[in-house]
Each structure stands twice: as structure tokens, then as C-alpha cells.
């Protein structure tokens, strides 16, 4: 019988193959250690004991290429949340680098010193491990300098952990690893906070660079003006440093995907499931920004006129929330403001009624109770400032007199300025999720929104202050199930006035928070 070239020959007809030589354990160990010393992708498996996925290998190869072949000065990596980017950029590669170059200095920076120290500790502990010292015998941790915030090697190298915004004095580095310098979505919506971060990047951090130093920036995109956007814009204006950019969207969206994926293919399918991706697409702005690494363009305004939507019809589903910003002065100064909003099941925010005036606290209380009586809100939200702590006692006495329960909820300010507190609200506007019911009060609220945060004087942003409460509150409510909301509504409907008074402990100045929260 003859077999054509296209047919497979049965194994029993194939000539016997010579036995393959078996490597001795010592030889196998030598090759393993040599591979780990040569390439960080092998170091990851041998020393850190993690198995890199395809995108991790892409990142590690780009890092290695920049260091060993000097192919870039700045490396910008944008990947979705949860893609283990920090493990490889802030742990595996710095550890390998300190083994390869134990005399060099590095800085690991993140949005807080605590997070930067977390990665510095991991690198320090890895460098001190026996397996690392087998791979790199000349790289050893100095016993005289082992603090997680600033440690050294016996060859004079060092690792400094730094939080974004902190002063970095007396330390210069050959490599700087910047991991998630923006703390999250809220900070990314604050122009003031981003400007401070950009100033720190351009001054404090840049001044710590040695000649020919390299910087690595890894993050998820959060806004057009986050640190990744800033770096790309600065490079376009002043291309004095060679910038390499790696963008890895959750779903491949072009034929030239860095990983060679086809359009629609998921990043790291061993981890991200189709069900997870489908759920992520429910919010288009967050999907495009954080997961696809494509933040929409931004004209620089806090909220643009096109993003303020005025409608005539408000959906009937969802729950009401009363938002209040207080001023204790009369006729002058800031306004007292009440806004009633309806939050639908799809998390759209409809502002259905607005009131502001420079009147006595007694009149403000009466309007407060009128709105609660008319709409039956789920919660009455207010900042926990000094004015509120005075106001709550007057409101409580008047509520008892009129027999109207008040579902009071004070939100902590945490020392944040107006713009930072309003940042989540800006995100809702940018996502097209805020609507104003057409009414005469639209005029003053729209003017405040357009001018914020740059308007000067008194009474220019009280409506924004009140409206920002729902932006902050919805972040906490986003994980509440419909069953939990139903129970909260049942409590509101069934509780007696005396029971509500006891729940809020309004007789006790220190007991202003709802005990059942």
C-alpha cells in the first residue's frame, strides 16, 4: 500500500525515533534560572509564581525592550480594571529590574502612599527571597535599609514608594513606575483635582528623574483629561521624549489590535466572561471610558449646555429624593435650596421641582416639609455641616407639630471642596443621565451649572451644592437590590412619628445619623 503526501502514515509504519536525552535536574535548574534572568516573562513564572496571560507577556516584553534596547523614554499602558496590570508593572518587572540592575534607583508611585507602599513591599520581599537571589546572586536586600517606603540593595540601588501629590526630596531614579495615579472616577471628573495631579507630574515627579530616566504609566482611562490624556497631549505639543502607547480595550475594536485579536474578541477570556462583559455595557459612558479606553472628548467645561437636558415628561417609575443646601442668613449671602429629584430604575435622574430663597430658617423648614408631604421621598439628603446640625432640631420640632416624618440622611463632607463633592454629579451629566423638568426654576439652576466652578460671589452655586448630594448618594445606592429599596419604602410608610423621632435621635445633638442605615 502506498500513502500520498496528504495522508497520515500510521504510527506503526513510522521508523523508530532515537530516545531524547533527559536533562539532569541541575541542568534543568540552570536553564530555568538563566531564562528568568534573561526575560521578565520567565522571571514571573519562576520567582513570582504567576502565569502571565497574552496581554501580560505583551506588557512585559515592551518593558524589557525599552530597558534593554532603549526603544522608548515613556511607556503608557491603558488596560481595563481587573486585568492584573499592576501585578506585572508594579511587582514583577520592578523586581526583575532590581535584580538585573541592583545599583539603580526606582520610584513606585500610586494615588496614595499606602498603595505605593503595598507594591514596594511586594518588590522588597521578592528581592529578599531565596529564589530571586538564585536568579540574581548580586542582587540582595541591604539589612540597613528595609523600610517599605524606602529600601536599598547592597549594591547601592533603592526603591522609593510615593503617593501622588507628595513631595519627593533627595531621591532621583532611573525608572519611575506610575500605577493608577488617579484614585477613581470621582477624582477624574474634578478639573481642580486633575490639574493638581498634572502639576505634580510636571514638577515634583519630573525633577526626580536622572539623565536618560524612563517612566512607565499604567492605568485605566477615566476621563479625557486624566494623566494618560495629559501625557499624550503634552507629548504631541512637545515631543522631546519618545512615547510608546499600548491600549488594550476589553473588546478588540480594530484590525490592528496589539494582541492580534479580531474585532469583538474579549481581553483575557480565561478571566472575563461574556456575561461579565454584557453587564459592563449597561452604562455606555463607563463602558467606553474605563473598559474600551476611549473617553469621549471634553470641551473643558464642567457641564456643557448640550449636556443639560430639559424635558416635559418625567417617568413614573423609581423613587424621589429631596436634596437640600442650607443658608441661615436672610436677604443676603447664599441661598437655601431644595431640589426634588426622581431616580428611575435605570438610574436616570430627573429634577422635578426646585426652590431657592434667602429667607429665615423657619420658612425653609416649612418648604422642606411641604415637599416631603407632597412627594414622599425615599430620603432627605443634606451635607453634615454646621448649618445642618442647627437646622435639624428646628426641622424635627416642626415635623412633630405637623405630623410629617422626615427620612433624614446626612452625607459626610470629609473635608472635600465643592468641586470634589460635585465630581460624581458631573459624571452623571457626562453620561447623559440627568434631566430637568421644564419649569421657571430651570433658569437659575442652568446658569449655576454652566458657570460652575468658576463663578465668583455669593449665591452662585447653592443649587449645584444641593444637586451634588444625589451624585454622591447614588454611588452608595448602586449596589442596593430592589428588595432592599422596597423594605426601606415599607419602613417609611409604616413608621410612626414618635418611632421616627427615636430612630433619628433628634433629642441628642450627637445622634444625628439614622441608626438603621
Comparison of pLDDT for 273 and 6, the residue scoring more: 273
494 prior amide bond cis, ω within 30: no
Query: Residue 387: what pLDDT?
Result: 84
pLDDT of 159 strictly over 60: yes
Residue 323's Cβ-side half-sphere holds a number of Cα atoms within 13 Å equal to 26
d(Cα 487, Cα 444) in Å, to the nearest integer?
36
User: 90 phi and psi, to 5 degrees?
Assistant: -105, -5
Query: Residue 501: what pLDDT?
Result: 44
Answer yes or no: is 9 within a domain. Answer: no
Query: Residue 492: what pLDDT?
Result: 45
CB-based contacts of 428: which residues, under 8 Å, 6+ apart? 349, 434, 471, 474
Query: Residue 146: what pLDDT?
Result: 86
Residues 156 and 209 occupy one common structural domain: yes
Most distant CA atoms of the chain, gap in Å: 108
pLDDT of 290 strictly over 50: yes
Query: Residue 7: what pLDDT?
Result: 58
Residues 441 and 475 occupy one common structural domain: yes
Cβ neighbours of 112 (radius 10 Å): 15
Write down the mean pLDDT value for the chain. 87
Residues 247 and 360 occupy one common structural domain: no
Residues 315 and 347 occupy one common structural domain: yes
Residues 209 and 240 occupy one common structural domain: yes
Run of H or E including 114 = helix 113-127
Domain that holds residue 429: 305-504
Q: What pTM was estimated for this model as a whole?
A: 0.68
Domain end, chosen from 291, 318, 350, is at 291
Answer yes or no: is 509 within a domain. Answer: no
Length in residues, the chain? 517
Residue 45's Cβ-side half-sphere holds a number of Cα atoms within 13 Å equal to 14
Residues 71 and 94 occupy one common structural domain: yes
Span 166-205, pLDDT tens digits: 988 778 999 999 999 998 887 888 888 889 999 999 999 9
Residues 283 and 311 occupy one common structural domain: no
CB 52 within 8 A of CB 43: no
Domain end, chosen from 250, 265, 291, is at 291
Look at strands 158-163 and 408-411 and give their pairing.
unpaired
Look at residues 362, 357, 359, 371 and name the one whose alpha carbon lies nearest to residue 406: 371
pLDDT average, residue stretch 379-388: 90
pLDDT average, residue stretch 412-436: 89
Q: What is the CATH number of the domain that holds 459?
A: 3.30.420.240
Residues 36 and 111 occupy one common structural domain: yes
d(Cα 265, Cα 405) in Å, to the nearest integer?
53
User: 18 phi and psi, to 5 degrees?
Assistant: -65, 145
Highest-confidence range of 11-15, 60-64, 171-175, by mean pLDDT? 60-64
Residues 281 and 311 occupy one common structural domain: no
Band (pLDDT 50/70/90 cuts) for residue 279 is very high
Domain end, chosen from 291, 314, 349, is at 291
In Å, how far from its chain's centre is CA 78? 13
d(Cα 341, Cα 351) in Å, to the nearest integer?
4
Total domain count for the chain?
2
Instruction: Dig out the grid coordinates for 31 from the structure.
Output: 536553564
Could you give the angle at which helices 93-100 and 54-69 cross, rounded to 10 degrees? 30
Instruction: Dig out the grid coordinates for 76 from the structure.
Output: 503608557
Answer yes or no: is 2 within a domain. Answer: no
Answer yes or no: is 20 within a domain. Answer: no
Amino acid at each position: 500500500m502506498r500513502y500520498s503526501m496528504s495522508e497520515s502514515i500510521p504510527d506503526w509504519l513510522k521508523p523508530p525515533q532515537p530516545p531524547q536525552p533527559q536533562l539532569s535536574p541541575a541542568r534543568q535548574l540552570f536553564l530555568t534560572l538563566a531564562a528568568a534572568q534573561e526575560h521578565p516573562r520567565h522571571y514571573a513564572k519562576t520567582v513570582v509564581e504567576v502565569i502571565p496571560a497574552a496581554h501580560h507577556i505583551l506588557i512585559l516584553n515592551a518593558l524589557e525592550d525599552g530597558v534593554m534596547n532603549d526603544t522608548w523614554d515613556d511607556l503608557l499602558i491603558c488596560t481595563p480594571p481587573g486585568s492584573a496590570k499592576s501585578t506585572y508593572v508594579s511587582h514583577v518587572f520592578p523586581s526583575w529590574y532590581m535584580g538585573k540592575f541592583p545599583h539603580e534607583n526606582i520610584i513606585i508611585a500610586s494615588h496614595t502612599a499606602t498603595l505605593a507602599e503595598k507594591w514596594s513591599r511586594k518588590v522588597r520581599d521578592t528581592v529578599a527571597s531565596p529564589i530571586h537571589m538564585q536568579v540574581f546572586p548580586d542582587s540582595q536586600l541591604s539589612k540597613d535599609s528595609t523600610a517599605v517606603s524606602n529600601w536599598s540593595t547592597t549594591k547601592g540601588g533603592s526603591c522609593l514608594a510615593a503617593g501622588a501629590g507628595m513631595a519627593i526630596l533627595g531621591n532621583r531614579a532611573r525608572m519611575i513606575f506610575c500605577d493608577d495615579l488617579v484614585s477613581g472616577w470621582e477624582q477624574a471628573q474634578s478639573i481642580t483635582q486633575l490639574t493638581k495631579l498634572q502639576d505634580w507630574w510636571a514638577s515634583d515627579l519630573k525633577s526626580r528623574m536622572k539623565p536618560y530616566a524612563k517612566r512607565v504609566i499604567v492605568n485605566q482611562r477615566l476621563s479625557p483629561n486624566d494623566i494618560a490624556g495629559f501625557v499624550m497631549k503634552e507629548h504631541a505639543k512637545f515631543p522631546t521624549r519618545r512615547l510608546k502607547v499600548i491600549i488594550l480595550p476589553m473588546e478588540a475594536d480594530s484590525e490592528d489590535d496589539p494582541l492580534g485579536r479580531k474585532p469583538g474578541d474579549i481581553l483575557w477570556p480565561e478571566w472575563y466572561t461574556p456575561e461579565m462583559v454584557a453587564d459592563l455595557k449597561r452604562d455606555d459612558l463607563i463602558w467606553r471610558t474605563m473598559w474600551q479606553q476611549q473617553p469621549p472628548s471634553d470641551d473643558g467645561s464642567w457641564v456643557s449646555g448640550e449636556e443639560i437636558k430639559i424635558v416635559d415628561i418625567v417617568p413614573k417609575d423609581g423613587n424621589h429624593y429631596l436634596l437640600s443646601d442650607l443658608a441661615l442668613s436672610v436677604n443676603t449671602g447664599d441661598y437655601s435650596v431644595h431640589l426634588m429629584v426622581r431616580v428611575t430604575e435605570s438610574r436616570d435622574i430627573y429634577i422635578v421641582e426646585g426652590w431657592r430663597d434667602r429667607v429665615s430658617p423657619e420658612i425653609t423648614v416649612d418648604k422642606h416639609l411641604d415637599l416631603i408631604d407632597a412627594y414622599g421621598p425615599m430620603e432627605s439628603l443634606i451635607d453634615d455641616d454646621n448649618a445642618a446640625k442647627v437646622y435639624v432640631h428646628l426641622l424635627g420640632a416642626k415635623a412633630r407639630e405637623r405630623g410629617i416624618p422626615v427620612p433624614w440622611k446626612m452625607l459626610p463632607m470629609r473635608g472635600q471642596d465643592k468641586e470634589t463633592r460635585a465630581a460624581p454629579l458631573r459624571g452623571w451629566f457626562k453620561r447623559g443621565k440627568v434631566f430637568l423638568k421644564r419649569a421657571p426654576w430651570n433658569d437659575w439652576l442652568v446658569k449655576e451649572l454652566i458657570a460652575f466652578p468658576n463663578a465668583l460671589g455669593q449665591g452662585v452655586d447653592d443649587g449645584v451644592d444641593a444637586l451634588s448630594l444625589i451624585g454622591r448618594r447614588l454611588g452608595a445606592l448602586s449596589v442596593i437590590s430592589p428588595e432592599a429599596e422596597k423594605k426601606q419604602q415599607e419602613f417609611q410608610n409604616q413608621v410612626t412619628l414618635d418611632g421616627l423621632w427615636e430612630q433619628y435621635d433628634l433629642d441628642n445633638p450627637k445622634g444625628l445619623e439614622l441608626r438603621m442605615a
